[in-house]
Amino acid sequence: MLLKVGSRGEEVEKLQQKLGVDSDGIFGPQTEAAVKSWQAANNLAVDGLVGKQTWGKLFPVVADEQAAPTNAETVALDTRLLDKLKPSVPTAVIEQISSCAEKFEINTNLRLAHFLAQCAYESADFKVTEENLNYSAVGLQKVFNKYFPGDLAGSYARQPEKIASRVYANRMGNGDEASK
């Protein structure tokens, strides 16, 4: 789960109630500011995103809540379900679904549908397997301006790994820029 500006629903409403902001179920600027403030006060990366780490600290799991959801939507990722995906999802992707589902709590049909839709989008329908970050200095300033202020882009241009380390540092579970 990842909640951020633009997210909507019951989980956002639960978050808002916990943070003491208007609980309309829409993650907007007020919710983002409250999340950042809470993250700073709890020694977490202050990014305004509510992922597994922030959610887990906000809502610690008690022993009897650790079981997977028990509603009828719970996905049993068995061979029959995975076989249904074969016509539109590459075998290499299908082989990774079970471990990803467990790791990232993809435990309902809806979550699986969202996960696969996002993967398809990000990979041009599973055709591209690596993000192209081979940007020129001008390209970096156009696409990632906030990460490359001033003339900093020149020292990163055409160095995809170095660009990725800067752009994705301290976000989405990544370490700082120096970490690999």
Q: Is 74 contained in some domain?
A: no
Residue 61: its pLDDT value, please?
A: 66
52 and 85 in a common domain: no
User: For residues 58 and 137, what is the distance between their CA atoms, to the nearest angstrom?
Assistant: 40
Mean pLDDT, the chain, whole residue set: 85
pLDDT band at 30 (very low <50, low <70, confident <90, very high): very high
Structure confidence by residue, pLDDT tens digits, 85-129: 888 888 888 888 888 888 888 877 788 888 888 988 888 888 888
For the four alpha carbons of 46, 47, 52 and 58, in that order, the dihedral sign comes to: positive
Q: How many angstroms separate the most distant Cα atoms in the chain?
A: 55
Q: Is 112 contained in some domain?
A: yes
Residue 137: its pLDDT value, please?
A: 95
Q: What is the DSSP string of 78-116?
A: -HHHHHHHTTTS-HHHHHHHHHHHHHTT--BHHHHHHHH
180 and 137 in a common domain: yes
Report the pLDDT averaged over residues 7-18. 92
- Total tally of structural domains belonging to the chain: 3
Residue 107: its pLDDT value, please?
A: 77
Residue 67: its pLDDT value, please?
A: 46
55 and 98 in a common domain: no
Q: Is 5 contained in some domain?
A: no
Structure confidence by residue, pLDDT tens digits, 126-150: 888 888 999 999 999 999 999 999 8
Residue 103: its pLDDT value, please?
A: 81
The token pair at 144 is 């990632």
pTM of the prediction? 0.45
135 and 117 in a common domain: no
Q: Is 57 contained in some domain?
A: yes
Instruction: Assign 8 to helix, strand or coil.
Output: strand
Structure confidence by residue, pLDDT tens digits, 33-61: 999 999 999 999 999 999 888 988 898 86
pLDDT band at 78 (very low <50, low <70, confident <90, very high): low
Q: Percent of the chain, pLDDT > 70? A: 88
The token pair at 100 is 């990803």
Residue 87: its pLDDT value, please?
A: 85
Q: Is 59 contained in some domain?
A: yes
Q: What CA dihedral angle connects 38, 179, 4 and 42, to 10 degrees?
A: -10
Alpha helices of the chain — where are they, by DSSP H? 10-19, 29-41, 52-58, 79-85, 91-103, 109-122, 137-143, 160-167
151 and 180 in a common domain: yes
135 and 115 in a common domain: no
14 and 60 in a common domain: yes
8-state DSSP, 11? H
Q: Is 155 contained in some domain?
A: yes
Q: Is 31 contained in some domain?
A: yes
137 and 115 in a common domain: no
Token pair 């959801």: residue:
69
Q: Is 3 contained in some domain?
A: no
Count CB atoms within 10 A of the CB of residue 58: 17
For the four alpha carbons of 146, 151, 153 and 156, in that order, the dihedral sign comes to: negative
48 and 86 in a common domain: no
Q: 94 and 82 in contact (C-beta within 8 Å)? A: yes
**Could you tell me the residue range of the domain that residue 106 belongs to?**
79-122
53 and 14 in a common domain: yes
Q: Percent of the chain, pLDDT > 90? A: 46
